Amino acid sequence: MAEDRITVIHVPGSFEIPLAAETAASSGKYIAVCCLGAVVQGETQHHDYINHAVAQGLMTAMQRTGIPIAFGILTCENLDQALNRAGGKAGNKGEEAALAAIEMTSLLTKITG
């Protein structure tokens, strides 16, 4: 896919991803949204609340808009684990999320005609 057909939107943190994703999905400009990020566990359980809120927010946004929103948010214990899952030893979860967005777009096109 040509890079000029991809828009990158940066948000200040993972908690803000669902609002940005829903806004992009409802804009009519995109056939899919792929959300990538990482929540790294800290010394408290704060990451659990963030992870749950982001996952629920993205699911709700996808259901409201009818636009595929791929979940590529890593939930990791440390930075090394995040780097390994973002293209290192453990594969590339961002690539997997992008592929899921493409597959869902194709599937929905087949379903709706």
* Rounded-to-integer distance, Cα 52 and Cα 49, Å: 5
Q: pLDDT-based confidence at 4, cuts 50/70/90?
A: confident
Which domains can be identified in the chain, with CATH numbers?
10-112 (3.40.50.960)
- Say what the pTM is: 0.87
Alpha-carbon distances of 26 from 2, 22, 110, rounded to whole Å: 23, 6, 21
Query: Hey, what are 102's tokens?
Result: 């493409």
Q: What is the pLDDT of residues 58-85, one digit of tens each?
A: 999 999 999 999 999 998 888 888 888 8
| pLDDT over 70 (residue 1) | no
Residues acting as catalytic residues: 46
> How far is the C-alpha of 29 from the C-alpha of 41, rounded, in Å?
34
pLDDT at 97: 93
Percent of the chain with pLDDT over 90: 63
What gap in Å lies between CA 81 and CA 72, rounded to an integer? 15
